[in-house]
Chains A and B, each alone.
Chain A
Amino acid sequence: MNLKIENLKAGLPDKKILQGITLEVPAGEIHALMGPNGSGKSTLANVLAGHPQYEVSSGNISMGDINLSELEAYERARAGLFLAFQYPVEVPGITVGKFLKRAVELRRGEEGRFNVSAYIKELRENMDFLGIDQKFINRYLNEGFSGGEKKRMEVLQMLMLKPDFAVLDETDSGLDIDALQVVAKGINTLRGEDFSALVITHYQRILDYVKPDRVHVMVEGRIVLSGGPEIVDELEAKGYDWVKDSL
C-alpha cells in the first residue's frame, strides 16, 4: 500500500528533529532512505510507527486511505504498518511463539477463530526460510539474542505479520554478509504490488541485495535529494559531504 508523508514536523519535546518531510512511496515500490548519522532517519521511523515519546507539531501521514496520524501505535500496526526496530527490545518471560501468535491474531483480526496449527506451520516454514533454529519458538523474545539473531527475528515477525507497509530501520547495521542476505531475502519475498517499504540505511551494502525503486537522502531533518538507484553509487563514491556541499 502507498505511504504518503506531507510536510511532517516532529521531534522530542525539547528538540525539533524533522523539519518538514514530504515523501511518497507508491504501492508496490521499495524506497531507500539514506543519510548520515543524526540526520533524523530513526526519528522518522519512530514517528511513522507512532512512538509516544515524539511530538508531531504539523503535517500528515497516511497509508492508503488510512490517516495514520490519528492512530495509536497499536492501531497503526493492526492496520498494516510494520517497523523493524534498529534495536529490538528484550522482553523476558514472553516466548517468541506465544508473542507472535498474539500479534498475528491481532493483525489478522482473527481473535477467537485463530487457526493455531496453520500458524505454527507457517511459523516453522518462515523460520526455515530465514535459517532460524526452531528452538527460538520457545525462547523469550530477544532475550540474550545476538545482534544478528535479533535482526532475523524482526524479519521473521515481518513475514508473519504480512504488513502493507514496512519501515526497516537500519536492519542491516552490524550484520555479517550472510545475515545481511537473509534480511534481504525476507524483504524481497514480500515484494509485490500489495507491499511497499522504506528501507532506512546508512550504507549502500544492503541495497546491493534489495534494489530500491527510489532513493531519498536525508540531512538535518530534511529530504535533500531524491532520485533513482544511481544515487546510491554516487553517494558511495563521493560520501554524504557531496550532498551537503551541493545544498
Chain B
Amino acid sequence: MSDKQAPVSGLADYKYGFSYPDQSVYKPGKGLSEEVVRAISAQKREPEWMLETRLRALRAFYRKPMPNWGAGIGDIDFDDIYYYAKPTESVVKNWEDLPEDILKTYDRLGLPEAEKKFLAGVGAQYDSEVVYHSIQEDLKSQGVLFLSPEQALEEHPDIVKKYFGTIIPFNDNKFAALNTAVWSGGSFIYVPPNIKVEIPLQAYFRINSENFGQFERTLIIVDENSFVHYIEGCTAPVYTTDSLHSAVVEIVAEKGARVRYSTIQNWSGDIYNLVTKRAVAKENATVEWVDGNIGSKRTMKYPAVWLMGEGAHGEVLSIAFGGKDQEQDTGGKIVHNASNTSSIITSKSISKDGGTATYRGLIKVAEGLHNVKSHVVCDALILDEKSISKTFPYMEVESDDVSVEHEARVSRISEDQLFYLTARGLSEEEASMMIVNGFLDPLVKQLPMEYAVELNRLIELEMEGSVG
C-alpha cells in the first residue's frame, strides 16, 4: 500500500453562504455587558428568576478562563460580536407570514419542503429568535409540546423552571455560562408518558447577520415510556469576519423513555461552533446522539449521556469532516452512574486539505457499580499528507465489574485503491468519494433515510468541489 496523497479536488464552495440585508427589528450594539443581558431579558418580558440566572451566568462567564485545550479558539473577539438580533416581532404559524427575505432563506434551505415530506413539527430560528413554529395537530392533541423556549416560559413556566439549567448548570463551562447569560431561541419539547412521536421534529438554526452570536437553548423532556426523534440543522452565510454559535442542549429521558437527537451541523467556514449538549437517562431509558459536523471553522462539541438509572443505555454516533482551515474537535461523553448500564460511542472522522479532525471522548464509571459495559470505536480517514487526525480517548473507571473496550483505526486512501477503482472506469474524484462514502457507510446505514441522503449529499459536496 502506498501513502501517496489522493488526488482530491479542493473544498467545495459553500452552498448556503448567501445572506439578505439585516432588517432586525431590535438589535443592541456590539459587545457583551450587563446592559445587553438586561435588554435581552426585557425584550422577552421574562420572569425575574430568569434574569437573575442570566446575570449570575454572566459573572461566571467573566470569571471562567478560556479552555486551554481542544480546537484553537483564542482568536474569538467577544467585543466584536452582536449578542442579540430580533428578526421579527412574533412567531408565525404559516411560512407565508414571514418577511420575504426570511421566507426566501428557508425556501432555499428546503425547510418548508422537508416539513411537508417527513417532519411532524418544525421550528425555524433566524438569528436570535424563532420566527416560525409548527406541530401536527394530532401530536398537539396528545399533549406533546414543541415550542420556542420563550413560549414555553410564558405558557408552562413551572416545567421550564423545574428543569432549566439542571442538566447543564449555568457555570458548567465558559460557553455554557455565556449561553445561559444571553440565550435566545431554541426549542422546548415535552412528550407526556406513553407517547411515541413516530415522525421527527426538526429545528433549523440560521444565522443571517454578520459578526453575530447565536445562543439558542434547547430543553427536551421525554416522560416515561415515550419516544421522540429531534433533528437539528444549521447553516450561515459566508462573511469575511467570524461569528459565534454557542448553544446549550439539555435532555431528560424519564424511566423507559427513548430520545434520539440528530444534528447535521453545516455552518459556514467562519463560525466558531462551541456547544454543550448533555442528556440524563433514567431507569431503562435510552439516549442517542447522532452528531454530524461538516461545517464551521472550529467546533468543540462532545454530546454527553449521564446514565442515572439501572438499565439505561447511551449512544453517540459522531461524524466529523475537517476540511481546509477547519478544526473539528468532537466526540462524546458517557457517565455511568448506575449498575447494568451500557454505552456505545462510534466516531468516524475524515480530514482533508490540511484540516484537523480530533476525537475527544470520555467514558466514566462511578464507584461501586456492577455489570457496566461500554464500547468505543474511533475510525479516522486521512485524505492527504497535509491533514491531521487525533484521538483522545479518556477513561475514568472506578468499579471492577466493568467491560470497557476501545478500538481506534487510522487509514489513508491508498494509491492502490484509487488505481483499482479508476481501472474500472471511475474518475479519481469519484473513486475518492466512493472510498469516503464507503468509510462512512456502516454509520450512515443507521440514520433515517432522508437524513442519510442529506449527509451523503453534503459529503459529496465537500469532496467534489462543485456547487449544486
Binding site for B on A (CB under 8 A): 49-53, 72-74, 76-78, 83, 85, 88-89, 91-94, 99, 102-103, 106-107, 140, 157, 161
Whether A53 and B2, one on each chain, are in contact in the complex, defined by CB atoms closer than 8 angstroms, is yes
Whether A99 and B434, one on each chain, are in contact in the complex, defined by CB atoms closer than 8 angstroms, is yes
Whether B439 and A92, one on each chain, are in contact in the complex, defined by CB atoms closer than 8 angstroms, is yes
Collect the chain A residues with CB atoms within 8 Å of residue B422's CB: 50, 72-74, 77
Expressed in whole angstroms, the Cα–Cα distance for A88 and B420 within the complex equals: 7
Expressed in whole angstroms, the Cα–Cα distance for A72 and B7 within the complex equals: 13
User: For the complex, is B143 an interface residue (Cβ under 8 Å from A)?
Assistant: no
Whether B2 and A93, one on each chain, are in contact in the complex, defined by CB atoms closer than 8 angstroms, is no
Collect the chain B residues with CB atoms within 8 Å of residue A92's CB: 438-439
Chain B residue total in the interface (Cβ 8 A): 25
- Minimum distance in angstroms from A145 CB to a CB of chain B: 13
Chain A residue nearest to B428 (CB atoms) is A74
- Given A85-B420, A93-B435, residue A53 in contact with residue B425 (CB < 8 A): no
Whether A161 and B416, one on each chain, are in contact in the complex, defined by CB atoms closer than 8 angstroms, is no
Expressed in whole angstroms, the Cα–Cα distance for A231 and B464 within the complex equals: 51
Most buried by A among B422, B427, B431: B422
Expressed in whole angstroms, the Cα–Cα distance for A114 and B130 within the complex equals: 45
Chain B residue nearest to A81 (CB atoms) is B423
Expressed in whole angstroms, the Cα–Cα distance for A73 and B435 within the complex equals: 17
Whether B421 and A157, one on each chain, are in contact in the complex, defined by CB atoms closer than 8 angstroms, is no
Whether A93 and B419, one on each chain, are in contact in the complex, defined by CB atoms closer than 8 angstroms, is no
Collect the chain A residues with CB atoms within 8 Å of residue B437's CB: 93-94
Chain B residue nearest to A72 (CB atoms) is B422
Q: Mark B424-460, 1 if CB is under 8 A from A, else 0.
A: 1111101100110111111000000000000000000
Chain B residue nearest to A77 (CB atoms) is B425
Whether A161 and B415, one on each chain, are in contact in the complex, defined by CB atoms closer than 8 angstroms, is no
Q: Taking A53-B415, A103-B425, A140-B438 as given, write out 19 further A-B residue pairs in contact, using a Cβ cutoff of 8 Å, ordered by the A residue number.
A: A50-B422, A50-B423, A51-B419, A72-B422, A73-B423, A77-B422, A77-B423, A85-B420, A89-B414, A89-B417, A91-B435, A92-B438, A93-B439, A93-B441, A93-B442, A99-B421, A102-B434, A106-B424, A157-B424
- Given A53-B2, A92-B439, A93-B439, residue A106 in contact with residue B423 (CB < 8 A): no
Expressed in whole angstroms, the Cα–Cα distance for A157 and B423 within the complex equals: 11
Expressed in whole angstroms, the Cα–Cα distance for A121 and B441 within the complex equals: 25
Query: Which of these, A53, A72, A91, contacts B438 with CB under 8 Å?
Result: A91
Chain B residue nearest to A92 (CB atoms) is B438
Whether A106 and B438, one on each chain, are in contact in the complex, defined by CB atoms closer than 8 angstroms, is no
Most buried by B among A49, A53, A89, A107: A89
Chain B residue nearest to A143 (CB atoms) is B438
- Minimum distance in angstroms from B77 CB to a CB of chain A: 42
Collect the chain B residues with CB atoms within 8 Å of residue A88's CB: 420
- Minimum distance in angstroms from A144 CB to a CB of chain B: 14
Collect the chain B residues with CB atoms within 8 Å of residue A102's CB: 426, 430, 434
Chain A residue nearest to B427 (CB atoms) is A74
Chain B residue nearest to A94 (CB atoms) is B438
Expressed in whole angstroms, the Cα–Cα distance for A202 and B438 within the complex equals: 35
Collect the chain A residues with CB atoms within 8 Å of residue B415's CB: 52-53
- Minimum distance in angstroms from A163 CB to a CB of chain B: 10
Expressed in whole angstroms, the Cα–Cα distance for A188 and B259 within the complex equals: 58
Expressed in whole angstroms, the Cα–Cα distance for A103 and B420 within the complex equals: 11
What are 8 pairs between A and B in contact, CB < 8 Å?
A52-B415, A74-B426, A89-B420, A93-B440, A94-B434, A94-B441, A99-B434, A140-B438
B residues 358-381 touching A (CB-CB < 8 Å): none
Whether A52 and B419, one on each chain, are in contact in the complex, defined by CB atoms closer than 8 angstroms, is yes
- Minimum distance in angstroms from A8 CB to a CB of chain B: 18
Collect the chain A residues with CB atoms within 8 Å of residue B435's CB: 91, 93-94
- Given A92-B439, A94-B434, residue A161 in contact with residue B420 (CB < 8 A): no
Collect the chain A residues with CB atoms within 8 Å of residue B416's CB: 89
Chain A residue nearest to B426 (CB atoms) is A74
Collect the chain B residues with CB atoms within 8 Å of residue A89's CB: 414, 416-417, 419-420
Collect the chain B residues with CB atoms within 8 Å of residue A157's CB: 424
Chain A residue nearest to B2 (CB atoms) is A53
Collect the chain B residues with CB atoms within 8 Å of residue A76's CB: 423
Expressed in whole angstroms, the Cα–Cα distance for A107 and B438 within the complex equals: 21
Collect the chain B residues with CB atoms within 8 Å of residue A99's CB: 421, 424, 434
Chain A residue nearest to B424 (CB atoms) is A103
Expressed in whole angstroms, the Cα–Cα distance for A83 and B417 within the complex equals: 14
Question: 8 closest pairs, A vs B, by CB?
Answer: A93-B438, A77-B425, A89-B420, A106-B425, A93-B441, A94-B438, A73-B422, A103-B424
Query: Which of these, B2, B419, B426, contacts A106 with CB under 8 Å?
Result: B426
Collect the chain A residues with CB atoms within 8 Å of residue B414's CB: 89
Expressed in whole angstroms, the Cα–Cα distance for A7 and B134 within the complex equals: 73
Expressed in whole angstroms, the Cα–Cα distance for A74 and B423 within the complex equals: 5
Collect the chain B residues with CB atoms within 8 Å of residue A49's CB: 419, 423
Collect the chain B residues with CB atoms within 8 Å of residue A93's CB: 435, 437-442
Query: Which of these, B424, B428, B430, contacts A161 with CB under 8 Å?
Result: B424
- Minimum distance in angstroms from A103 CB to a CB of chain B: 4
Whether A78 and B421, one on each chain, are in contact in the complex, defined by CB atoms closer than 8 angstroms, is no
Chain A residue nearest to B436 (CB atoms) is A93
- Minimum distance in angstroms from B407 CB to a CB of chain A: 15
Collect the chain B residues with CB atoms within 8 Å of residue A78's CB: 425
Expressed in whole angstroms, the Cα–Cα distance for A140 and B437 within the complex equals: 12
Collect the chain B residues with CB atoms within 8 Å of residue A83's CB: 423
Chain B residue nearest to A140 (CB atoms) is B438
Expressed in whole angstroms, the Cα–Cα distance for A103 and B426 within the complex equals: 7
Most buried by B among A76, A77, A107: A77
Q: Mark B75-89, 1 if CB is under 8 A from A, else 0.
A: 000000000000000
Collect the chain B residues with CB atoms within 8 Å of residue A140's CB: 438
Chain B residue nearest to A102 (CB atoms) is B426
Collect the chain A residues with CB atoms within 8 Å of residue B442's CB: 93
Expressed in whole angstroms, the Cα–Cα distance for A94 and B424 within the complex equals: 14
Expressed in whole angstroms, the Cα–Cα distance for A55 and B419 within the complex equals: 15
Expressed in whole angstroms, the Cα–Cα distance for A103 and B434 within the complex equals: 12
Collect the chain B residues with CB atoms within 8 Å of residue A103's CB: 424-426
